[in-house]
Amino acid sequence: MSLIKEPDFGTPERPGEATVSVEVDGMPVKVPEGTSVMRAAALAGIDIPKLCATDSLEPFGSCRLCVVEIDGRRGTPASCTTPVTDSMVVRTQTPKVEKLRQNVMELYISDHPLDCLTCSANGDCELQDMAGVVGLRQVRYGYEGENHLDAAPDLSNPYFDFEPAKCISCSRCVRACGEVQGTFALTIEGRGFDSKVSPGAGESFMDSECVSCGACVQACPTATLQERSVVELGMPSRSVVTTCAYCGVGCSFKAELRGDELVRMVPYKDGGANEGHSCVKGRFAFGYATHPDRVLKPMVRERITDPWREVEWDEAIQTVARKMRTIQETYGPSSVGAISSSRCTNEEVYVVQKMVRAAFGNNNIDTCARVCHSPTGYGLKQTFGESAGTQDFRSVSKADLIMVIGANPTDGHPVFGSRMKRRLREGAQLVVVDPRRIDLVRSPHVEAAHHLQLKPSTNVAVINAMAHVVVTEGLVDRSFVDERCEGFDAWAEFVALPENSPEATEAITGVPAAEVRASARLYATAPNAAIYYGLGVTEHSQGSTMVMGMANLAMACGNIGRDGVGVNPLRGQNNVQGSCDMGSFPHELTGYRHVSDDAVRTVFEELWGRSLLPEPGLRIPNMFDAAIDGSFRGLFVHGEDIAQSDPNLQHVSAALEAMDLVVVQDLFLNETAKFAHVFLPGASFLEKDGTFTNAERRINRVRAVMKPKTGKHEWQIVSEIATAMGYPMSYDHPGQIMSEIAQVTPTFKGVSFELLDELGSVQWPCNDEAPEGTPTMHVDGFVRGKGKFAVTAYVPTDERTTSRFPLVLTTGRILSQYNVGAQTRRTGNVAWHAEDVLELHPLDAENRGITDGDMVSLASRVGGTTLRARVSDRMPPGVVYTTFHHPVTGANVVTTENSDWATNCPEYKVTAVQVALAHPLGRHATESSETDRLAGVD
């Protein structure tokens, strides 16, 4: 495959029908009103020279290279900033404009290094291309005068270089930082000849507000901003379109290679989720795939105290099968199980749950998705009838009020966060419900109308108080409720009770009643109001209740079933949605159908040739409890690090240690592998072929950029284990697995690799009624028929502060790191976040004699750890916050076994703790050296 060159139409597309007729160089074309002359020309097949224009940015008109002549008009207007009019006649190649363009190009070249043959952008430089297009053959001005050729480069960023000597001050990088990313970290400093791009007065890129999303690099027409990988490896020569394996946004990328070596990841303009944008992780943090820490050979050992022994694949697979069978013969069929991963493809997840049900003969399959978003599935299923978000990401562009609850999009889902910020800059209002002051509360050009800084664990009380305002102030959309919902009267009577009023709940939540009332009115009266939420909603003892509470509020206000509204979970990992869809819960088969449903089970039994149990199997916490009790003895862990990511790690460690067989399949020897008897090396996303399903139900193709470095695909390994255990399971290609998924899953009925290759992506349901997918759910009616209001009583968490543990710990993510950090800690991203830190309010710090940067101990009733303090007023007094990306810190060693009442989703967001000064060295010295080792720093 050759290098994919996406067309650039110069200026963005304008909405509407193509009603304006234009003639460009004799070629007729019809375009929507507001379209630029440049774009109209491009659509007619005529490319007008340009440098400051690109179709991801609004027209700027600074380079003067795109001038044209228009019949009946004086002068030579810039085609990028000139809108078309009906019957306009445009001439792009007259002697006059050709001469003007050559003059302009001469000025650019006279202040530009003439090192094209040795420049890293040679062959991929728009300045070089345009010099050829305009026919420049000489530069009359000479190179003796004042110039910028001695400007010093900025090499501070680990991923890209900034060479101001090559800058043509087109402002594309500055505009991309503002318009696309919304960070506004760059500016044009100075005037006239002194104009230059700057990340801030006297600052380097690393010292600035730059978030290294790569939008500026993508926009730069020269080698001024260039990926360091291109500088070191050379220009790529071929492309493969694939999907990012980090967060649940599901960005599409062109993986660009030179031979078999990956040079760079370039965001794909046709990507349905990202439309050409990216973040620092997806754009740059792919080096872990070739990190020397990767294990490429299977390994076995008899006891976890023994050294590992490398073996061939056959021995490893036979060892797993033999020991699993032996355990079942001794302790019974239910003594073994598996945990699947939200980082693996749909096809891999599907075969794991199939192995458990058909080869193991039980339903002991669970997934890491349950420990983050299972309340989403339960709550939305109960109220709407489907276990997924309602909208596509584009929908946010139509929202007039956006409510962000328990999510931090700019850190956790940055590409969607940028899309959201764009809408906020256009005038949409914002309400943030979060104990922490996230960046969205106040950042460049964006400020929340209200920040409801609630006490952790009181989400349900806040949502009920908002619903109280809607009901008691007559703000209910009665026509929507009467036509499309049921159970309203009982719910309305409940939320109207005095104890649910903002005034009554203020003592519980800590949120002023006036703020709650104002926020509720904004939500209820906005033409379109949308809710976006994250783990700050689900990882609570009342996670499922809160999801139903948000669904209640959306139905009461009629905010379901069209663009700009909805209830939308922001999934944390790349395939959380997909791993749930694929039947990875012990009580559900694919498509969220209960194992007790005889008709559903029959479909699988006939296809698989095995009888399936109608009773649910063990969830992860039940597996751990049973392991300690002695009845659960064998576990297959597929792509997960439960010894770092699950709560109450002492309990997890005890359970793993008690088992006779722990099998880990992963890229690296992670924390769970310390308890493993068999280690099966996994494949990175660059080696996978299959699909991911993102937070908007979008099924994206994942295409292999290179062959598996281990010699086997992960779906192949799982199939061979099942076969060795006596259940023949074999596929020639992951497309066959997707065909089987479509055969047994109604919402995937129309999905195939062929369809995805044709359309790029689809959003389920994709079936006979929606052959090209469903961007918006519940348009004419709810999946369950009528939306069901659920009474959502607030129940305080069992986790209470005491004199011994007087503070509340809550957790979250940071932009540069991902989940347990196994991937990102092995990349240059450690430059931004080399360790987990504990944020605490200045008052709490002062009371404990803690200053910024001190090492502190963090202790709960189940465990303790040590980390560095960061004194910050982002948190209210009494609440502390940390991330969980570094195993040395092991933040989950302090989280408890409390969980959601309906799904057992752990209550990560509420832990009673105490913080005190620790030894000044503590664990930080260890963490720093470990970080340096992973990043390859000497």
757 in any annotated domain: no
In this predicted structure, what is the pLDDT of residue 922? 46
Q: C-alpha 504: how far from its chain's center?
A: 37
> Given 543, 569, 595, which residue is the final one in a domain?
569
Closest CA to 503 of 495, 494, 512: 512
Q: How many residues does the chain have?
A: 938
Same domain, 106 and 202: no
104, pLDDT greater than 70: yes
Residue with tokens 């295409």: 703
In this predicted structure, what is the pLDDT of residue 937? 35
Residues 6 or more apart from 623 whose CB is under 8 A from it? 337, 339, 364, 366, 632, 635, 655
Please give the backbone phi and psi of residue 663, each rounded to the nearest 5 degrees, phi first: -110, 125
924, pLDDT greater than 60: no
Same domain, 819 and 916: yes
In this predicted structure, what is the pLDDT of residue 919? 66
The domain total for the chain is 5
The C-alpha angle with vertex 284 and arms to 281 and 287, in degrees rounded to 5, equals 100
List the CATH number of the domain containing 27: 3.10.20.740
In this predicted structure, what is the pLDDT of residue 142? 65
Higher pLDDT, 146 or 415: 415
In this predicted structure, what is the pLDDT of residue 752? 97
Same domain, 424 and 516: yes
In this predicted structure, what is the pLDDT of residue 933? 42
Question: What is the pLDDT confidence band of residue 527, given thresholds at 50, 70 and 90?
Answer: very high
151 in any annotated domain: no
Same domain, 452 and 555: yes
**The two three-digit tokens of residue 585, written as one number:** 């819960």
Count other C-beta atoms under 10 Å from residue 153's C-beta: 12
Same domain, 818 and 889: yes
- Is residue 126 helix, strand or coil? helix
Structural Rg of the chain based on CA atoms: 29
Count other C-beta atoms under 10 Å from residue 881's C-beta: 22
Question: What is the pLDDT confidence band of residue 624, given thresholds at 50, 70 and 90?
Answer: very high
Same domain, 104 and 235: no
143 in any annotated domain: no
> pLDDT per residue over 597-610, tens digit each?
999 999 999 999 99
In this predicted structure, what is the pLDDT of residue 929? 42
List the CATH number of the domain containing 813: 2.40.40.20
Question: What is the pLDDT confidence band of residue 935, given thresholds at 50, 70 and 90?
Answer: very low
In this predicted structure, what is the pLDDT of residue 444? 84
Task: Tell me the torsion sign for CA atoms 92, 97, 99, 105.
Answer: negative
Mapped to the 3 state alphabet, what secondary structure does 25-49 carry?
Answer: CCEEEEECCCCEHHHHHHHCCCCCC
Burial of 819-843, coded b for 16+ CB within 10 Å and e otherwise, reads bbbbbbbbbbbbbbbbbbbbbbbee
> pLDDT per residue over 107-145, tens digit each?
888 888 888 888 888 888 999 989 898 888 777 766 677
Same domain, 518 and 592: no
List the CATH number of the domain containing 212: 3.30.70.20
790 in any annotated domain: no
Same domain, 106 and 69: yes
> pLDDT per residue over 423-446, tens digit each?
999 999 999 999 999 999 998 899
Same domain, 123 and 228: no
447, pLDDT greater than 80: yes
* Residue range of the domain that includes 905: 807-935
Residues 6 or more apart from 74 whose CB is under 8 A from it? none
**The two three-digit tokens of residue 45, written as one number:** 């097949």
In this predicted structure, what is the pLDDT of residue 116? 86
244, pLDDT greater than 50: yes
372, pLDDT greater than 80: no
Average pLDDT over residues 251-261: 95
> Given 290, 307, 335, which residue is the final one in a domain?
290
926, pLDDT greater than 50: no
Average pLDDT over residues 310-337: 97
In this predicted structure, what is the pLDDT of residue 112? 87
Mean pLDDT rounded to a whole number for the chain = 93
> Given 520, 554, 569, which residue is the final one in a domain?
569
Taking each helix axis from N to C end, the angle separating 346-354 and 734-744, rounded to the nearest 10 degrees, works out to 70
Higher pLDDT, 897 or 155: 155
In this predicted structure, what is the pLDDT of residue 905? 86
For the chain, what is the largest distance between any 2 Cα atoms, rounded to a whole number of angstroms? Answer: 92
Same domain, 737 and 825: no
603 in any annotated domain: yes
The C-alpha angle with vertex 679 and arms to 675 and 682, in degrees rounded to 5, equals 130
Same domain, 849 and 729: no
Asked if 379 contacts 592 with a C-beta cutoff of 8 angstroms, the reply is no
Q: What percent of the chain has pLDDT above 90?
A: 83
772 in any annotated domain: no
Count other C-beta atoms under 10 Å from residue 633's C-beta: 23
Same domain, 839 and 736: no
In this predicted structure, what is the pLDDT of residue 101? 94
Question: What is the pLDDT confidence band of residue 56, given thresholds at 50, 70 and 90?
Answer: very high
857 in any annotated domain: yes
Task: Measure the CA–CA gap between 929 and 672, rounded to whole angstroms.
Answer: 21
Higher pLDDT, 904 or 262: 262
Task: Measure the CA–CA gap between 836 and 894, rounded to whole angstroms.
Answer: 14
What element of type H or E holds 241? strand 238-243
Task: Tell me the torsion sign for CA atoms 867, 872, 878, 880.
Answer: negative
334 in any annotated domain: yes
In this predicted structure, what is the pLDDT of residue 1? 63
List the CATH number of the domain containing 640: 3.40.50.740
